[in-house]
Amino acid sequence: MTLREMATQVDIREALPDGNLSSMNREWNTDCPWCGKSGHFYVNLQSKLFFCQRCKEKGGVMRLLTRVGRLDLVPDTYIDRNRVQARLEIVGQKEDQLADVTMHYVHRPVGWKRINKNKYLDEYRRFTAKDYEVYEVGESDFVPQLQNRIAFAIEPDGDRIGAYIGRWAAKVTPPGKLRYWNPYGFDFGRLLYGFEGVQADTEAVILVEGVFDKIAVDRCLGLQDQSRLVCLATFGNRVTRLQIRRLLDAGINRVYLVYDHDAVREIKHTACELNRYFTVEVNHTSGKDPDECTPAELIAVFDRLQSPETYYRNALIPLKIK
């Protein structure tokens, strides 16, 4: 069952009984579950897309039902009933119990200039005009740590961003220099590179470790011009509870976990944790990082996706025997 098909089977008036029909009986008007403003929250009765005219929250049916604690209205053919309680428990935790999940946006660094050409990206990462359009890459001559580095904007939102990360702009990093520079003060444990691509119609996400892994998967699977399946980078081979909370808040139901070949034990831990809340399939690359794989090699990885239980038996137990 697809997300769109599921949405047609949910009567949103059961989740939000204190409301009324708007003009032409197409929308359900009620109080906003986010800001509480009376009469400013509208839900399309067919698509179940919602929007608050005051706080500007918007999204789809899974995000809304998760927010109001009514995942019981979702058909069993779409969601695993055994995961519903865990999903509601983590989303229902107060901010002082699970830190503050609100995104803290900042301005781009001083002297930020978005670029559409770079020798390293063009020659070694095969960047195209389309890539420069989709992924915001910039430079700054005013930030000392960004000298000779390119920087990727993380979760851009208009004139602000969630963070940025610098990468030495050459294939070989000089001795004494860091290949990557993570600016001090950014909590990468709450960030997901590419999260701005998650929309109301997003049914599933692919989780990879790094920025270039995400870009490689996007290209290989043709994900740049759609939003039903979105690839996200978690900045390492662990997924934090804050990142899980953000995925649940967005209404994500299915997760494909594809980490590097040298992170088998970390994959096991992460897959088991994700499996409490999402339908999960998992695999690792074979001898290469995702951004080093050919398209055929990447597709082969996705063709061999397994349940966390099967992955544990096939990948971890033989590893222990050795």
The CATH number of the domain where 243 resides is what?
3.40.1360.10
**Does 219 share its domain with 264?**
yes
E strands, the chain, where? 19-21, 27-30, 41-44, 50-52, 58-59, 106-107, 113-114, 137-139, 149-154, 160-161, 163-168, 180-181, 204-208, 229-233, 254-259, 279-284
- Domain of residue 201 covers 195-321
* Domain-embedded: residue 92: no
On the 0-12 / 13-18 / 19+ scale of CB atoms within 10 A, 244 is buried
Token reading at 242: 């804050």
In three-state secondary structure terms, 249 is helix
**Does 65 share its domain with 150?**
no
- Predicted pLDDT at 97: 45
- For the chain, how many structural domains are there in total? 3
Phi, psi of 83 (to 5 degrees): -95, -10
End-to-end CA, the chain: 42
**Does 227 share its domain with 287?**
yes
Residue 207 CB-half CA count within 13 A: 26
**Does 172 share its domain with 200?**
no
pLDDT tens for the 322 residues of the chain, in order: 888 899 999 999 999 998 999 867 789 999 999 999 999 999 999 999 999 999 999 999 999 998 898 999 999 888 887 788 788 777 765 544 444 566 789 999 999 999 999 999 999 999 999 999 999 999 999 999 999 999 999 999 999 999 999 999 999 999 999 999 999 889 899 999 999 999 999 999 999 999 999 999 999 999 999 999 999 999 999 999 999 999 998 999 999 999 998 989 899 999 999 999 999 999 999 889 999 999 999 999 999 999 999 998 887 555 444 4
Location of structure tokens 């050459």: 170
Distance between CA 46 and CA 52 in Å, rounded? 17
Token reading at 60: 């789809």
- Give the global pTM: 0.89
Element (H, E) at 211: helix 211-221
**Does 246 share its domain with 313?**
yes
